[in-house]
Chain A
Amino acid sequence: MGDDTSTTYTAITYNFCELAELRKEKFITKWVDELKDEITAVYMNDKIHVVSSVCPHFGGDFAVDLKKGEMRCKWHDWTFCIDGGQCTNRNLKTKLRQYEFFEQNGSLIIRAS
């Protein structure tokens, strides 16, 4: 008998939104039961970013500021860079969680494990 403690995680894909809708709205936020996370997709400077929109501080929700390229927590005013996920106004090492995604038949598909 070996001491195999490794865990296998199954890949999950989730159809988050229509790309046309995201380009029009600039950002879309919703709680995704399948991923047990609130996720924000942002269309900014012709690029798409998909991040967890649960503030890593205490779990707050964000306001999106496209001009500054930041997400601002509505609970404590902590701000995070959308592009890299770093906190920009507090000394915090944790970044916003970024999700992998791909485009398929006009939809934005998130991939997680």
Chain B
Amino acid sequence: MVILSILAMTALVFLSRYLFLEPKLPLKLNPQAQRLLSYSSPAVLTAIWAPIVFMPEKELWIAPNNPYLIGAIIAALIAWKTKNVLMTTIVSMLIFLCLKLL
């Protein structure tokens, strides 16, 4: 039963990833649509990280003792200054773990 559920969910997830990659699907993207889609990367990624940072315990938590928020601010500063994704991830993760575990 568990495996069956996993397979059913897999089919759904794969379909949503593959659907628009299929050339037989009749869909022409005009320049307006392409412009709209150029914002998909920043918008979707932000919609994923923002709730993790601002409400890690499922409630809005904007305070200096929220390690997710402090870690995110540090990550944003490092990313802005260095543009180095690897360094940003490692340094902010270490600072976050220190804040979280202390």
Bound together: no
